[in-house]
Amino acid sequence: MSKFSRRDFLKTTASAAAAGTLGAGSAMWSENALAQSKWAPEKGATLRVLRWKRFVQGDEDQWLANTKKFTEKTGIPVRVDSEGWEDVRPKAAVAANVGSGPDIIISTFEDAHQYPDKLADVTDVCNYLGGKYGGWYDVCKDYCMEKGKWIAVPMGCAGNAIVHRIGAMKEAGFSEFPKDLAGFLKLAQAYKAKGIPPGFALGNATGDGNVWCHWLVWSHGGKMVDTKGNVVIASPETEAALNYGKQLYETFIQGTLSWLDPNNNKAFLDGQIGMTANGISIYYAAKNSPDAKIKAMAEDIGHANFPVGPIGRTTELNLFFPMMLFKYSKYPNAAKAYLAFMMEKEQYEPWQAASIGYVSHPLKAYEQSPLWKSEPKNLPYSNSMKIMLPNGYSGPMGYASAATMADFIMVNMVAEAVSGSKTPKEAMERAKARAERYYKV
């Protein structure tokens, strides 16, 4: 848990207050930085924010520094609590149901569509930010808009790419990372032969499991639902994906069926695996490790976007982060000011840089951030929001798509089929029956 307390606030703001430069209407309260004319905070406002626990230290450190900066400029104390991804989602659902909890919850995927009537309309914030920073990527609207209004502010996504060992790839005869499925399988087999097999999460991993399992099925033309929301997962295309996945699974290190999001990070940094699907957090950890052996590994780490399958185009999913303001908040204007402030260039770019792009931007103007040109290894993560599909693809986003994702139906289907606990047909039929419970509600 991270808390910016009232005591911290008093320490950091005492001198500014004494100088008469703190608070609404002051010189520090600039219209450009805080959109003062739109969101004048309520008198006596305090805020609570719940977000997911950082995977790279720079993310949390800079987020808290930016929060402290907001408090210094506005006099509004902000408490930030951090929980694991798997814990934020149920806590958000409870807060929505009981009408009490943090003012702002930063959750995952389309959680906002599970209780849209409990969320404040943040169209004004999103229009302000979109107008100033080149507009939002289309996928943001899928996740954060309902009935023509914004019900959450997009924070971005944890861009996911293939993380791999460059030296072993070249020794296997590849001058660059393969862009097709045949080459991808061949490389996976080569890593296994080298004693550093691939490892892809097949447990109920909110980020890594969902990301690569959806890519696997989508890359072959399979999908959970069609454009009208009919469940179509049991298809020849899905079966082809699962049969390919079985070949890929044969190269995996043992134990991936129980892996959650942290497991592949640890296995890669321990030298147990040579390829996985992950954010830039593995590279960040290697670069900043006090262990000389792990630090040296950073030079050998490569990043690549997922290969393109028979469908002929990119079919990537990334872990999306909606920032939700709940209607029960007593201080909605203060909360909106905070959300806008954290997405402004003065805060957003330093935050992205501190985590070397662990969260990819949702606003198009940030394509020009110096971060993406500062190091070639960052580049595969720079287009994560631009190329990703929403997890409800290709149907409508809403309660059904959110619940299907929360129930890990796609991940469980892939795990069952590739491990051999069920045939591909059995796994597809089970997934179909489970998904229909939600799409027929």
For 133, the token pair is 């920073």
CATH of domain 6-156+320-381: 3.40.190.10
pLDDT value of position 406: 87
pLDDT in tens, 301-313: 999 999 999 999 9
How do 78-83 and 47-52 pair as beta strands?
Answer: parallel
Cα–Cα distance measured from residue 188 to residue 11, given in angstroms and rounded to the nearest whole number: 54
Q: State the Cα angle at 80 between 358 and 260, rounded to 5°.
A: 45
Options 3.40.190.10, 3.30.1330.200, 1.25.40.10, 3.40.50.720; CATH for 161-317+407-439 is 3.40.190.10
pLDDT value of position 100: 98
pLDDT value of position 5: 37
Nearest to 389, CA basis, from 157, 147, 150, 153: 157
How do 359-360 and 153-158 pair as beta strands?
Answer: antiparallel
Cα–Cα distance measured from residue 206 to residue 213, given in angstroms and rounded to the nearest whole number: 11
Cα–Cα distance measured from residue 113 to residue 178, given in angstroms and rounded to the nearest whole number: 37
- Return residue ranges of the chain for CATH 3.40.190.10: 6-156+320-381, 161-317+407-439
Structural contact between residues 23 and 75, judged by C-beta atoms closer than 8 angstroms: yes
Strands (E), 141-231: 145-146, 149-150, 153-158, 161-165
Nearest to 68, CA basis, from 144, 24, 3, 155: 3
CA distances from 417 to 94, 202, 218, 392 (A): 33, 11, 16, 21
In one-letter notation, the amino acid at residue 379 is: L
C-alpha atoms less than 13 angstroms from C-alpha of 157 in its C-beta half-sphere: 34
Point out which residues pair with 231 in neighbouring strands.
Answer: 225
For 71, the token pair is 């408090």
Structural contact between residues 417 and 238, judged by C-beta atoms closer than 8 angstroms: no
In one-letter notation, the amino acid at residue 103 is: D
pLDDT value of position 34: 53
pLDDT in tens, 127-159: 999 999 999 999 999 999 999 999 999 999 999
pLDDT value of position 441: 62
CA 19 to chain CA centroid, Å, is 41
Per-residue model confidence as pLDDT tens for the chain (441 residues) = 343 333 333 333 333 333 332 333 333 334 454 554 489 999 999 999 999 998 899 999 999 999 999 999 999 999 999 998 889 989 999 999 999 999 999 999 999 999 999 999 999 999 999 999 999 999 999 999 999 999 999 999 999 999 999 999 999 999 999 999 999 999 999 999 999 999 999 999 999 999 999 999 999 999 999 999 999 999 999 999 999 999 999 999 999 999 999 999 999 999 999 999 999 999 999 999 999 999 999 999 999 999 999 999 999 999 999 999 999 999 999 999 999 999 999 999 999 999 999 999 999 999 999 999 999 999 999 999 999 999 999 999 988 998 999 899 999 999 999 999 999 999 999 999 999 999 986
